[in-house]
């Protein structure tokens, strides 16, 4: 049915080439777009995860360094106050100095054992001296009696703060209270400036959460103090010190996040980028590349369109001449057609030659082939002549590289006469085991080549195995068991370069020898 439909369309070779090209190029273009879309997006996602992880680690290191510096500043002040704890002017001078020294803290205050404020800065706080304050930070510091960093809490002045404190011990190591600095989470501070001024990568943003998953810093100040819920990556972030993860945040937005823990305070710095923003950039890149690919395919189609005329022209001429074989000059006209590819060559030959002339051609070919006098096989020159014929006709074939195992040992142990008998025995078995149209050659010494007219790997393997077992089973008087190793490669399925195919067959031969000899190795695996 299909044959009749195609015949009714009156398609010539050129039209068929063009139609095939259009279909092939279209399929290739669609597949290319699919692969490009997948590869580019996956690569961008991996790059984004890696970049966000590195930046989060960098910022976490900076935050850890700053917090450590803050603790050291407070520790120094605690030591000074401990030496003269009841010196009221010293208390106020020290908290003022500490506040103005580095501007790391939004406020500084000194607290006694009874929760009372002993000194503070800045004065705008307007705190009451000797009045107990029971905020979470004060209570936690007094209870700890050591270096302390609080979770976020609301201060008595209605500021969302994190308190960092150092205990004060007098010269007799009696606990007297603590000195602390606060960071106002909803106002400008050292850490927020570092977070939001150092990082800007394709709409990425950073935030910090504490061990209770409460937001400490965020570009949206209204979210500071909020506890994160419904975040698909939160468990993974809490379980690992650093890394990257693709997650859906609490707002239901898909993000690519990198994170790192701050060891000194057990905070987590998260750097993340909305996936849609990244993929939007990927789509723009894919569009540009797709246009380039489309233009390239148009160029290919134009080349094929021109080549189709060149390819189909000789066949069209021969097809017209087939109806004029009764003309006296037809053979000259046919001979003028250039047989530059296989089909034209065969078509021309079928028009020019009878069966007798074809046989004469084969005989003439055989007369030019050199024969190895010892084995009766084709020698290297003869093999090359045949190989040129195979290449010119585009014939598919297998190259079997064969080598006699330990042949030098045979010559040394039994003499060259016995060695020659071994060579002749192998040649005999090769001619017996392979088909008449398979080309058996001796290329030198104990090295043999078979050019087998097949692309079927099982046919080639079975033939090689038959030869190997036959050689192993053969008996030559006075000589121990003789084995061979075989390497197989295929042209053009392994390579269009004949030289490369021979090299691959040699490599497989060496592989067979390295695997104990007396075996067959191929470039392709047999289907089970």
Lowest-pLDDT range, 30-44, 184-198, 403-417?
A: 184-198
**Residues 101, 102, 103, 106, CA torsion sign:** negative
Across all residues in the chain, what is the average pLDDT? Answer: 82
DSSP bridge pairs for 485: 403
pLDDT tier at 224 (50, 70, 90 boundaries)? confident
pLDDT tier at 357 (50, 70, 90 boundaries)? very low
pLDDT tier at 146 (50, 70, 90 boundaries)? very high
DSSP three-state, residue 239: helix
pLDDT digits (tens, 9 = 90+) for 464-496: 999 999 999 988 887 888 999 999 999 999 998
Rounded to the nearest 5 percent, the helix, strand and coil shares of the chain are: 50, 20, 30
Parse the chain into domains and list their residue ranges. 14-292, 353-522
For the CA atoms of 403, 404, 408, 411, what is the dihedral angle to 10 degrees? Answer: -140
- Per the annotation, the verdict on 446 as an active-site residue is yes
Question: For residue 359, what pLDDT is reported?
Answer: 39
pLDDT digits (tens, 9 = 90+) for 427-459: 999 999 998 888 999 998 889 999 998 889 999
Which of 78 and 190 is assigned the larger pLDDT? 78
Is the separation of the CB atoms in 99 and 107 below 8 Å? yes
The set of residues, in sequence order, having a beta carbon less than 8 Å from that of 479 and lying 6+ positions away, is 410, 414, 418, 421, 422
Q: What average pLDDT does range 343-366 have in this prediction?
A: 53
pLDDT digits (tens, 9 = 90+) for 284-301: 777 877 788 778 878 877
Is residue 67's pLDDT more than 70?
yes
pTM for the whole structure = 0.49
Tell me the C-alpha distance between 233 and 295, whole Å. Answer: 43
Question: For residue 347, what pLDDT is reported?
Answer: 60
Superfamily of domain 353-522: Reverse transcriptase/Diguanylate cyclase domain (3.30.70.270)
Which of 59 and 188 is assigned the larger pLDDT? 59
Candidates 148, 157, 154; CA nearest to 179 is 148
- Which candidate in 53, 446, 465, 480 is catalytic? 446
Cα 447 to the center of its chain, rounded Å: 41
Question: For residue 360, what pLDDT is reported?
Answer: 47
Q: What average pLDDT does range 3-28 have in this prediction?
A: 66
Please state which of the four CATH numbers 3.30.930.10, 3.30.450.20, 3.40.50.1370, 3.60.20.10 is assigned to the domain occupying 14-292: 3.30.450.20
Tell me the C-alpha distance between 95 and 93, whole Å. Answer: 6
DSSP three-state, residue 259: strand
| Beta carbons within 10 angstroms of residue 45's beta carbon | 18
SS3 string, 282-314, reads HHHHHHHHHHHHHHHHHHHHHHHHHHHHHHHHH
């Amino acid at each position: 049915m299909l044959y009749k439909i195609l015949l009714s369309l009156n398609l010539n070779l050129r039209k068929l080439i063009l139609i095939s090209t259009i279909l092939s190029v279209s399929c290739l273009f669609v597949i290319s777009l699919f692969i490009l879309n997948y590869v580019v997006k996956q690569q961008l996602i991996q790059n984004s995860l890696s970049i966000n992880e590195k930046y989060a680690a960098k910022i976490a290191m900076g935050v850890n360094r700053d917090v450590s510096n803050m603790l050291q500043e407070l520790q120094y002040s605690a030591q000074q106050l401990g030496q003269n704890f009841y010196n009221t002017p010293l208390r106020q001078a020290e908290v003022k100095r500490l506040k103005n020294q580095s501007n790391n803290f939004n406020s500084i205050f000194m607290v006694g054992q009874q929760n009372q404020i002993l000194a503070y800065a800045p004065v705008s706080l307007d705190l009451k001296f000797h009045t107990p304050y029971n905020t979470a930070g004060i209570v936690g510091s007094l209870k700890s009696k050591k270096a302390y960093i609080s979770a976020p809490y609301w201060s008595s002045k209605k500021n969302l703060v994190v308190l960092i404190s150092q205990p004060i011990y007098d010269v007799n190591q009696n606990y007297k209270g603590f000195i602390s600095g606060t960071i106002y989470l909803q106002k400008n501070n050292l850490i927020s400036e570092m977070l939001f001024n150092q990082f800007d990568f394709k709409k990425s943003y950073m935030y910090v959460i504490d061990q209770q998953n409460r937001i400490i810093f965020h570009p949206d100040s209204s979210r500071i103090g909020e506890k994160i819920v419904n975040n698909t990556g939160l468990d993974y972030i809490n379980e690992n010190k650093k890394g990257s993860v693709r997650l859906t945040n609490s707002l239901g937005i898909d993000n690519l996040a990198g994170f790192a823990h701050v060891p000194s305070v057990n905070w987590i710095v998260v750097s993340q980028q909305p996936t849609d923003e990244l993929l939007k950039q990927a789509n723009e890149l894919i569009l540009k590349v797709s246009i380039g690919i489309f233009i390239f395919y148009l160029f290919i189609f134009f080349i094929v369109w021109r080549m189709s005329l060149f390819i189909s022209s000789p066949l069209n001429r021969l097809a017209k001449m087939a109806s004029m074989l009764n003309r006296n000059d037809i053979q000259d006209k046919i001979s003028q057609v250039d047989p530059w590819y296989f089909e034209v060559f065969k078509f021309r030959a079928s028009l020019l030659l009878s069966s007798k002339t074809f046989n004469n051609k084969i005989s003439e070919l055989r007369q030019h082939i050199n024969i190895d006098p010892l084995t009766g096989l084709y020698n290297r020159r003869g093999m090359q002549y045949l190989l040129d014929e195979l290449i010119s006709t585009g014939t598919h074939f297998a190259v079997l590289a064969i080598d006699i195992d330990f042949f030098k040992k045979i010559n040394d142990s039994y003499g060259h006469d016995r060695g020659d008998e071994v060579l002749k025995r192998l040649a005999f078995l090769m001619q017996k085991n392979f088909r008449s149209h398979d080309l058996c050659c001796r290329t030198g010494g104990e090295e043999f080549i078979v050019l087998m007219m097949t692309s079927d790997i099982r046919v080639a393997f079975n033939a090689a195995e038959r030869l190997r077992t036959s050689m192993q089973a053969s008996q030559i008087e006075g000589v121990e068991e003789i084995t061979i190793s075989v390497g197989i490669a295929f042209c053009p399925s392994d390579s269009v370069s004949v030289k490369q195919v021979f090299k691959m067959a040699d490599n497989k031969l060496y592989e067979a020898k390295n695997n104990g000899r007396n075996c067959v190795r191929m470039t392709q695996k047999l289907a089970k």
